[in-house]
Structure 1
Amino acid sequence: MQKKNILISVIDGQGGGIGRQYISALTSVLPKDLPVTIRALGTNSLATSNMLKGGANDGATGENAIVLNAGRSDIIVGVVAIVVANAILGELTPTMAQAIGASNARRILIPFDSCNTRIAMLSNGPLQAFIDQAVRMTTDYIGELLQ
């Protein structure tokens, strides 16, 4: 049975630049007729606004928006720090991190060494390579959901 709509929540803070890059890359490869909503969830209004400019369908800002939508999402995308309490210079609250971690959504986390969070990875590369990989993981999972 096909799902009616797939909700992809993209969570970002500060200026929302990584979320915007991801959304722009994803929307450039997604067929327009797929039942997908890309929701920009910013820890602040600048991040939300920037992600909307990247092509998100809609957006919301703040702790309550992130907590509420984490539970409704099929896919959550963001930098690794979104699952770490008090990350992104304190913009990511413990409540947000807990909601994201407890969500049944598929979490696709983009490696980005920031806010005192380091990632042990087997390969290094430019941020765009990790964003491209996140887009591939997203489209693969969308395919699974629509089967």
Structure 2
Amino acid sequence: MKVAVIDGQGGGIGKVLVGKLRQEFQETIEILALGTNSVATMMMVKAGANQGATGENAMKYNMNHVDFIIGTISIIIPNSMLGELTPDMAAAIGSSEAIKLLLPINRSNVSVIGTQLEPLPHMAEMLVKHLQKIMSERSESNV
């Protein structure tokens, strides 16, 4: 399974997500760090991503080469992350057939009703458990 983790700005959220994914899945998944800037990409690679790429073209190209896309809800909102996430990036992410696992972190004036706000480490843990469940269901259906 190939998982893209997307982040921008300082890469702190992506770093936490990549670290948690690597801790739980070890080397059984391939993690691709996709940053809106080189600092975000570098932080995710240092946290354990197998590869990293930066910028709009890398983001658009890789959306149809991954099984899962992980990030905050802002990755599907044009001009989020203080303008770092372009409308074309948001469209490519939203249009991808990959399963998207998004955290409801509110930095783009978007509130997802019905979600319970938790600290980032707790949300990362919930995301990993959800990914494990999906991967388990997929492997059972292939038997």
Q: TM-score, normalised by structure 2?
A: 0.92
Q: For 1:122 and 1:42, locate their aligned partners in 2 and report how far apart those are by CA, in whole Å.
A: 26
The CA distance in 1 between the partners of 2:96 and 2:17, in whole Å, is 21
Matched with 1:86 is 79
The residue number in structure 2 matching 1:3 is none
Q: Secondary structure at the match of 1:89?
A: helix
Question: Are 2:36 and 1:43 equivalent residues in the alignment?
Answer: yes
Deviation for aligned residue 1:120: 1.9
Q: Report how far residue 31 of structure 1 moved.
A: 4.4
Corresponding position of 1:7: 2
In the alignment, which residue of structure 2 is the partner of 1:28?
23
Show CA shifts across 1:3-33 (max 9, x none).
xxx110000000111111011011111143x
Q: Does 1:19 align with 2:14?
A: yes
Unaligned ranges ≥5, structure 1: 1-5
C-alpha deviation, 1:129, in angstroms? 1.2
Q: Supply the RMSD in Å over aligned alpha carbons.
A: 1.3
Match of 2:69 among 63, 67, 76: 76
**Inter-partner Cα distance in structure 1 for 2:114 and 2:120:** 13
- Tell me the residue number matched to 1:109: 102
AA matched with 2:25: L
CA deviation profile, 1:33-71 (whole Å, cap 9, x unmatched): x2x210000000000000001100001000000111111
Q: 1:61 aligns with which of 54, 61, 74?
A: 54
Counterpart-to-counterpart distance in 2, 1:11 and 1:78: 5
TM-score (norm 1): 0.89
Match of 2:119 among 126, 140, 146: 126
Structure (1/2) with the larger helix percentage: 2
How much does 1:121 deviate?
3.1
1:14 partner amino acid: Q
1:138 aligns with 2:127: no
Q: Distance in 1 between matches of 2:72 and 2:34?
A: 13
Structure-2 separation of matches of 1:37 and 1:45: 20
- Distance change (3 Å), C-alpha of 1:122 and 1:62: closer
User: Matched residues in 1 for 2:38 and 2:26: separation?
Assistant: 28
